[in-house]
Amino acid sequence: MSDLHVRIDRLAFGGNGVGRIDGKVCFVPLSCPGDDLRVRLTSEKRSYSTARIVEIATPSPQRVVPPCPLFGSCGGCGWQHIAYPLQLEAKRQILAEALWRGARVPGELVAETLPSPLQLGYRSRVQFKLHGGVDGLKIGFYRHGSHFVEDAPQGCPIALPVINAALLRLRDVLTSFREPAAIPQINIDCAERGAVAIVNYIGRDPEQAAAFFAGHAHALTPLTGLYLQTGRKSTLRKVWGDGLLAYSLPAGPGGASSCSLGFRPGGFSQVNAAQNRALLELIRGMAGFHGRERVLDLYCGNGNFSLPLAGEVESITGIEEYEGSIAAALDNCRQNGINNAEFLAADAANGVRRLADDGRRFDAVILDPPRSGAAGTIGGLCRLKPERIVYISCDPGTLARDCGLLATQGYCVLKSVPLDMFPQTYHLESITLLQRGS
């Protein structure tokens, strides 16, 4: 197959550069807007094709040197070769296009992307893949499009330094573990206080594995705890240390005080601490609380967004399916002396339905669903008749779909702000304010 020429015009959600060959859209991984490329097609569909770079004939002036030696093979960060201001603008365009296609939200309602204060060394939770073979133990990340583990001996540039330090200690300890093939994955979570590893074990002797890691606790500083997981989250067991992971967020009008929040291993937390604080301030600004609001926090986790706001509203009701997160939210209420919050362990759709059946009403909803969005909850949610919905999303497509569904129920988008929670990747967080029409 002969090589073809393409000029890259923009970036798509998913990370690929986009150009046209004979009028047909072509997606090219690891390309940059402004690149002139010689490419070879890897697949061709009716409406688009994909291609790989054979030669960068003329590099874009927006190309930069990737900071990671694994860039291009590791499947993690796809935009390290793109200047940061261009990453931010691409994310705004991606969000604006998705909202227009899915909900006919005008582009002028989408703000500029809020940049991350750190473009490297920001990530507080990392999932490392392991492979033990004849050539030794590899700890790193899957190669793009495969389950081949690319070894990352120096750790990951986007991870917090404490995570990379812990990984080096784990790597040393695991050289003497008898079943390296029985550990396919290790998660490391950290916060302002605490750094915990969750070791996924699929071998036949979990007691022996637990004893091994307990016996090496002294060698695993800076970890403050280690857990073993042998299946679903319910199989998590503490091997040693303190499982508490804790951080603080501004509380009260103007952030005059502080709210201390903890979460448990296996529970969800935002991976970029600075941007988590930025999201909280955006929620404050968008919701415009006056002190009398009844607030529903849907997919509430440990109360990350709602508990720092407890002193600014009348009441908070949180719903979360994972019981470990609900337990953390209740602990956080006790820790901070918050007595106007209740938390329910329930599937979001069922929980909202129960509230609506009980005749409950809410003035504002904080909605932070998983990547799949909140389509299944929207019918019940609208029965609660909130005036405002603040929707935090990590997927532009499902956000746009849900905004379209909410529009049929009388809610319109007033503003959407993309926020760079994940620098060096195509992933983006956004926060969107919707208001019920009269």
Q: What is the pLDDT of residues 342-380, one digit of tens each?
A: 999 999 999 999 999 999 999 999 999 999 999 999 999
Residues 103-112 have a mean pLDDT of 97
- For 28-53, what is each residue's pLDDT tens digit? 999 999 999 999 999 999 999 999 99
CATH superfamily of 92-117+270-436: Vaccinia Virus protein VP39 (3.40.50.150)
pLDDT at 266 (0 to 100): 83
- What DSSP assignment string belongs to 203-234? SS-HHHHHHHHHHTGGGSTT-SEEEEESSSGG
- Whether 103 and 110 have beta carbons less than 8 Å apart is answered as no
Residues 55-78 have a mean pLDDT of 94
pLDDT at 438 (0 to 100): 65
Q: Which of 285, 326, 282, 290 is nearest to 421 (CA)?
A: 282
Residues 56-81 have a mean pLDDT of 94
- Whether 277 and 270 have beta carbons less than 8 Å apart is answered as no
pLDDT at 160 (0 to 100): 97
Question: What are the φ and ψ backbone dihedral angles of 393, each rounded to 5 degrees?
Answer: -135, 145
- Same fold flag, 4-63 and 125-190+195-243: yes
Q: Which residues of 72-98 are buried (b: 16+ CB within 10 A; e: fewer)?
A: bebbbbbbbbbbbebbbbbbbbbbbbb
CA dihedral for 144, 149, 152, 158, sign (positive or negative):
positive
**125-190+195-243: CATH architecture:** Beta Barrel (2.40)
136 pLDDT higher than 90: no
Instruction: Grade residue 254 by pLDDT with cuts at 50, 70 and 90.
Output: low
Give CA–CA dist 406/6, Å, rounded: 40
Instruction: Grade residue 132 by pLDDT with cuts at 50, 70 and 90.
Output: confident
- Whether 333 and 339 have beta carbons less than 8 Å apart is answered as yes
Most distant pair of Cα atoms in the chain: their distance: 69
Instruction: Grade residue 294 by pLDDT with cuts at 50, 70 and 90.
Output: very high
Give CA–CA dist 187/128, Å, rounded: 6
Instruction: Grade residue 133 by pLDDT with cuts at 50, 70 and 90.
Output: confident
Instruction: Grade residue 416 by pLDDT with cuts at 50, 70 and 90.
Output: very high
Instruction: Grade residue 243 by pLDDT with cuts at 50, 70 and 90.
Output: confident
Residues 186-193 have a mean pLDDT of 95
For residue 363, what are the β-bridge partners?
Answer: none
Residues 104-124 have a mean pLDDT of 97
Q: Which of 252, 250, 206, 258 is nearest to 228 (CA)?
A: 206
**Active-site entry in 32, 77, 394, 403:** 394
Give CA–CA dist 216/147, Å, rounded: 29
- For 218-229, what is each residue's pLDDT tens digit? 999 999 999 999
Domain ranges (residues) in the chain? 4-63, 92-117+270-436, 125-190+195-243
**4-63: CATH architecture:** Beta Barrel (2.40)
Q: What is the mean pLDDT of the chain?
A: 94
Instruction: Grade residue 1 by pLDDT with cuts at 50, 70 and 90.
Output: low
pLDDT at 267 (0 to 100): 83
412 tagged catalytic: no
Residues 195-218 have a mean pLDDT of 96
255 pLDDT higher than 70: no
